[in-house]
Chains A and B, each alone.
Chain A
Amino acid sequence: MSLLRVNNLRVVFETPYGQVKAVDGVSFEIERGEVVGLVGESGSGKSTLGLSIMKLLPPNARILSGQVIYNGVDLLRLKEDELRKIRGKEISMIFQDPMTTLNPTMRVGEHIAEALMYHYNMDKEEAWRIAKEVLESVGIPAERAMDYPHQMSGGMRQRVMIATAIALKPKLIIADEPTSALDVIVQDHILELLKDLRDRNKASIILITHDLSVTADIADRVLIMYAGRILEVGTVEHIYYHPHHPYTQGLLKSIPKLGSKSELYIIPGSPPDMTNPPSGCRFHPRCPYARGICMKEAPPLVKVEKGHLVACWLYIER
């Protein structure tokens, strides 16, 4: 049994300008100890997908259908206080912007200590002791535990965020753009830390990112998302060396390569208006291979080889 299985999840946002179909029938699964990269442009619904797994969606979001099965339990059916026992302890989350995800009026150590106290009924002293240990394990000296967030740099705060996410040894960590708000050098440190985490704690990680290259040396598998749907799923090798979907091919071509003289490729067109998404295959207005059927009907995800799925009419015999 896989650790987490998402079945046909559909999430919409109610906005003043109409309904936005943020996640439109997404299914996938994650095995224990596996790292999955979830790649898509901003607005593709990847962050919404991450938040719906923990049922942390904003009030104007509605889950229309689907299941999020963690260890055999559908999280979407759980009550708030049952979910609370899972959040942080079983599944935790690392957010994009470390400048805004720490409570400005709380010492950084307390972010970790309070979680320990609530989940394990630990006393204050012990919770703080462990909090300091966890901070040290992500490279923050124990004495900085008494700092307030504003006294730390962005990279240090992201380390604190990671510490809060691993303190309870969760089995699944959802990392939503954990490096995009940071400098390039700090980005590498954070990625190293995540790799270390995967090896040490045997935790599964969902790495949500807009940058396909970030997933290259950490992910086992990659999911390509576009306009609320999954277009391609495969191992890193599949996606990097045998990309099938025209969108994935475009994404790969638009990664800058060292030493390359050719001009950087840009996928033509612009991301779809999600209040009124294109019919059929969501990518067809930007696709160089679009045909009649692409505008009428959405292609199903079909297997092209073992562990490699693509949703594109190019690969479906009709």
Chain B
Amino acid sequence: MAGLREYIIVRLILTPAMVLILLTVVFLILRVLPGDPVRASVGPKVPEEYVQKIRHELGLDKPLYQQYIDYIVGLLHGDFGKSLITRRSFKEELLSRFAASLELALCSMLVAIPLGLSLGYLGATRRGSSLDHISRLLGVASYSIPVFWLGVILQLIFGIWLGIFPVTGGAPPSIKFRVPRITGMVMLDSLLSGDIEAFLITVKHMVLPSLTLGFVISGVINKVTRNAMLEVLSEDYVIAAKARGIPDFRIKIKYGLRNALIPILTIAGLQFALLMGGAVLTESTFSYSGLGTYMRDAVLSRDYTVVQAAVTLYAIIVAFVNLVVDIIYALLDPRIRY
């Protein structure tokens, strides 16, 4: 058993390795596969000399390994390269989209974690009851339901039929201009600048997308919680605690949930990837201006540098979240801690 420090050091080394691997895989897929990205982006009618000029401008006429090195070096300097379409740096746009996506992810977690934890907890502690069956059904439904379909249904019911919430997600442009940019997350920024009205309007626009994505993610948390709780509640130390006359609620929390949290956190943390994937579809469904829609548009317009930058950013988030989860895991489990 390694000490906590060594454990974290190993994780710290593996995290950039993971990002690098993902970058390389995507770089290879985008650059090596047949087809000329520049030609594809400008269309067949543009004369060859012009295409050559663009290639030179973007450094795409260099040998592949040189392009790869340039790209990595650029990234280390915080440079994502230039867009194939606009031929300008797009870092600003990328980061503001990223902040918007992060805001959606966090809001969805606010829905997913309480929903998933409580459903899983109730299911496990009342195993075999109708509540357990409902919780399991909701669980299976939530990870089988196409997130965009759920979004469409919610839009139809709450947006079109009832008219309670807007069908578009995220802060409307007027609000975005009004609120000073501090973190890039409009809800947070409007609060920080004391603009309550802007905050409320943004919240209203966040409800449906967060519910949609949150429900989908809650399924995994629900399932993991239920399984982990069942596993833990059948442990010997739970029976031993009952034999000591410890009250039920204390056993369920201090012996059950406390120990179940360790596997819940690891598995649920790994599902962060699912959240990011679901976010792309949710953003699309609610015309939410985030990293997901940005990447989709880049794919549709064949802007490969932007696609690659988006993937890089996603890789960094996923690797970072994995690292954080690992560290929290180590903190939660005294067997690793000491």
The reply to whether B243 and A118 form a contact with Cβ atoms under 8 Å apart is no
- Min CB gap A76→B, angstroms: 16
The reply to whether A118 and B334 form a contact with Cβ atoms under 8 Å apart is no
Q: Which residue of the partner chain, among B234, B237, B248, B258, contacts A102 with CB atoms under 8 Å?
A: B237
Asked if B178 is at the interface (CB within 8 A of a chain A CB), the reply is no
A312 to B258, CA, bound (A): 51
Proximity bits, A167-179, B CB within 8 Å = 1, else 0: 0000000000000
Residues 199 to 248 of chain B near chain A (Cβ within 8 Å)? 234-237, 239-248
Chain A's closest residue to B242 (CB) is A56
The reply to whether B245 and A103 form a contact with Cβ atoms under 8 Å apart is no
Chain B's closest residue to A164 (CB) is B244
Residues 104 to 130 of chain A near chain B (Cβ within 8 Å)? 104-106, 111, 114-115, 118-119
Q: Which residue of the partner chain, among B239, B243, B244, B259, contacts A104 with CB atoms under 8 Å?
A: B259
Segment with Cβ contacts to B, from A79-87, A202-210, A227-235, A252-260 = A79-87
Chain B residues whose CB sits within 8 angstroms of the CB of A106 once the complex forms: 254-255, 258
Residues 133 to 148 of chain A near chain B (Cβ within 8 Å)? 148
Tell me the count of chain B residues lying within 8 A, CB to CB, of chain A.
26
The reply to whether A88 and B334 form a contact with Cβ atoms under 8 Å apart is no
The reply to whether A118 and B247 form a contact with Cβ atoms under 8 Å apart is yes
Proximity bits, B251-274, A CB within 8 Å = 1, else 0: 000110011001000000000000
- Min CB gap A208→B, angstroms: 13
The reply to whether A101 and B333 form a contact with Cβ atoms under 8 Å apart is no
Chain B's closest residue to A93 (CB) is B243
Chain B's closest residue to A54 (CB) is B243
Given A102-B237, A103-B259, A104-B259, verify A92-B243 contact (CB < 8 Å).
yes
The reply to whether B245 and A101 form a contact with Cβ atoms under 8 Å apart is no
The reply to whether B244 and A87 form a contact with Cβ atoms under 8 Å apart is yes
Chain A residues whose CB sits within 8 angstroms of the CB of B255 once the complex forms: 103, 106
Chain B's closest residue to A161 (CB) is B240
Chain A's closest residue to B337 (CB) is A148
Chain A residues whose CB sits within 8 angstroms of the CB of B334 once the complex forms: 104-105, 148, 150
- Min CB gap A218→B, angstroms: 21
The reply to whether B245 and A100 form a contact with Cβ atoms under 8 Å apart is no
Asked if B250 is at the interface (CB within 8 A of a chain A CB), the reply is yes
Chain A's closest residue to B332 (CB) is A105
The reply to whether A104 and B335 form a contact with Cβ atoms under 8 Å apart is yes
Chain A's closest residue to B261 (CB) is A105
Given A106-B254, A148-B335, A151-B338, verify A100-B246 contact (CB < 8 Å).
no
- Min CB gap B101→A, angstroms: 35
Given A88-B245, A118-B246, A118-B247, verify A150-B335 contact (CB < 8 Å).
yes
Given A148-B334, A150-B335, A151-B338, verify A100-B244 contact (CB < 8 Å).
no
A252 to B254, CA, bound (A): 45
Asked if A89 is at the interface (CB within 8 A of a chain B CB), the reply is yes
A105 to B259, CA, bound (A): 7
Asked if A97 is at the interface (CB within 8 A of a chain B CB), the reply is yes
Q: Which residue of the partner chain, among A59, A105, A115, contacts B245 with CB atoms under 8 Å?
A: A115
Asked if A95 is at the interface (CB within 8 A of a chain B CB), the reply is yes
Q: Which residue of the partner chain, among B234, B240, B254, B338, contacts A101 with CB atoms under 8 Å?
A: B240
- Min CB gap A284→B, angstroms: 34
Residues 286 to 338 of chain B near chain A (Cβ within 8 Å)? 332-335, 338
The reply to whether A118 and B245 form a contact with Cβ atoms under 8 Å apart is yes
Chain B residues whose CB sits within 8 angstroms of the CB of A164 once the complex forms: 240, 244
The reply to whether A56 and B243 form a contact with Cβ atoms under 8 Å apart is yes
The reply to whether B242 and A87 form a contact with Cβ atoms under 8 Å apart is yes
The reply to whether A148 and B239 form a contact with Cβ atoms under 8 Å apart is no
Residue contacts A-B, CB under 8 angstroms, 27 given: A56-B243, A84-B245, A84-B246, A85-B245, A88-B243, A89-B245, A92-B243, A95-B239, A95-B240, A97-B236, A100-B235, A100-B237, A103-B237, A103-B241, A103-B255, A103-B258, A104-B335, A105-B258, A105-B262, A105-B332, A105-B334, A106-B258, A118-B247, A119-B245, A150-B334, A151-B338, A164-B244
Task: List 8 tightest A-B contacts by C-beta distance, closest first.
Answer: A88-B245, A87-B245, A88-B244, A93-B243, A100-B236, A101-B240, A148-B334, A101-B236
Known contacts A106-B258, A151-B338; can you find 10 more A-B pairs with CB under 8 A?
A: A59-B127, A84-B246, A84-B247, A95-B239, A102-B237, A104-B335, A105-B262, A114-B246, A118-B250, A164-B244
Interface residues of B, Cβ cutoff 8 Å to A: 127, 234-237, 239-248, 250, 254-255, 258-259, 262, 332-335, 338
